[in-house]
Amino acid sequence: MDQTVNTAALAAPASNLSLWGLFTQADIVVQLVMLILLLASVWVWTIIIEKTITMRRVTREANAFEDSFWSGGSLDDLYNSEGADPAHPIAAVFGAAMSEWKRSVRIAGLDVVNTAVKERIDRAMNVTIMREMDRLERWMIFLASVGATAPFVGLFGTVWGIMHSFSAIAAMHNTDLAVVAPGIAEALFATAMGLVAAIPAVLAYNKISNDLSRFASRLEGFGSEFSAILSRQAEERK
C-alpha cells in the first residue's frame, strides 16, 4: 500500500504533458536547450519574412528599372533620376557604370574605346554587384547554421534529459510507466523543437539561395548588356 501511494505521489508532479508542462518540469540544461532553440526558431522566421519581402521588392524595382532602361529614353536622364542616388541593386550597378563612364569621357584626350576604360567600367559594375549581393545575402549563414545544427542541439537536450530521467528512476527504484513516461516526453520535446527550428531554416535557405542566385545572374546579365551599350557609344564618339 505504501509503495502504491509513493508511486502516485512521484508521478503526479510529472503528469502534466502540455507543452508548457514539459518545459517547466524539464531539467535546467534541457530548459536552456529549449530556450536556445525557441529563440533560433523565432529568428529564423524573422529572417524568412524579411528576405521574402526584400526579394519581392528588389525584383519589382528591377522590373520597373529595366522597363525604363529599355524604353529608349536618355541614359543621362535615367542616371540623374535613379543612378546618381540608387535605391536598389540594379540601379546601383547602372549608377556605378555611368559614373565611371562620365569620369572617363571628361578626361581630355582619353580614348574611351581603349580596353582600360572598358575594364574600369566592368570592374566598377562587378564590385557593385558583389556589394549589393553581400547585402542581400546577410543572415543567410545563420539559416544554414540553424538548419545544420538545430537537430543536434535538440538531440543533446534529449540525451541529457533521458540521462537525468534514468538517474531519477534509479534513485526511486521504480520503473512504472507513469514515472518513466513524463521524463522521456520532456527529453524528446527538445528533439522536436530542434526539428521545428531546423526544417524551416533548411527549406528557406534552399529557396532564398536559389532566388539570390537568379537575381545575381540578372545583375550580371544587365551589366554585360550595359557594358556592350557603352562600348557601342564609345565607338560612335570616336
Residue 31 has pLDDT above 80, yes or no: yes
Please state, in angstroms and rounded to a whole number, the distance separating the CA atoms of residues 144 and 198: 9
- Sequence-ordered list of residues with C-beta below 8 angstroms from that of 66, at least 6 positions apart, any chain: 90, 222
pLDDT at residue 200 in the model: 97
Quickly list H helices, the chain: 2-11, 19-24, 28-69, 75-78, 89-105, 115-136, 140-172, 177-237
pLDDT digits (tens, 9 = 90+) for 79-101: 999 988 999 999 999 999 999 88
pLDDT digits (tens, 9 = 90+) for 148-195: 999 999 999 999 888 877 777 777 776 666 666 777 788 888 999 999
Cα dist. 236→152, 214, 225 in Å?
63, 33, 17
Question: Taking the complete model, does pTM exceed 0.75, yes or no?
Answer: yes
